[in-house]
Amino acid sequence: MLENDRYTYRVTWSEEDEEYVGLCAEFPSLSWLALSQEDALRGIRQVVSEVVTDMEASGEAVPEPIALRKYSGRFMIRIPPESHRRLVLEAAEAGVSLNRLASEKLSQ
């Protein structure tokens, strides 16, 4: 297993496979199926560890864990002009900035 493993893992039920599936956000192409949640987590962590070891050995860039990334709190999004107009009107009617309205909607 990786030392100081800080990757983002999730275990969910797969109705199609009738098993739990372990996933890693930083490695979206990897997964591990198991009969228990614990085994699914253990399995995906092992797969990620092996992939990271292989990537390091071949000189490939290893994804940085999401938990360690720095975020500015800013991002841009494109929306249709009619949606933009509707949101500007909604913000004006609520007496807040468009930025404040969008932030509130995204935080829900």
Residue ranges covered by each domain of the chain: 9-67, 71-107
CA distance 103 to 25: 24
**CB distance 34 to 19 below 8 Å:** yes
**CB distance 68 to 75 below 8 Å:** no
CA distance 49 to 108: 35
User: How many Cα atoms are found within 13 Å in the side-chain-facing hemisphere of 68?
Assistant: 8
Helix, strand, or coil here: 58? coil
User: Each residue's pLDDT tens digit in the chain (108 positions)?
Assistant: 888 899 999 999 999 999 999 999 999 999 999 999 999 999 999 999 999 999 999 999 999 999 999 999 999 999 999 999 999 999 999 999 999 999 999 998
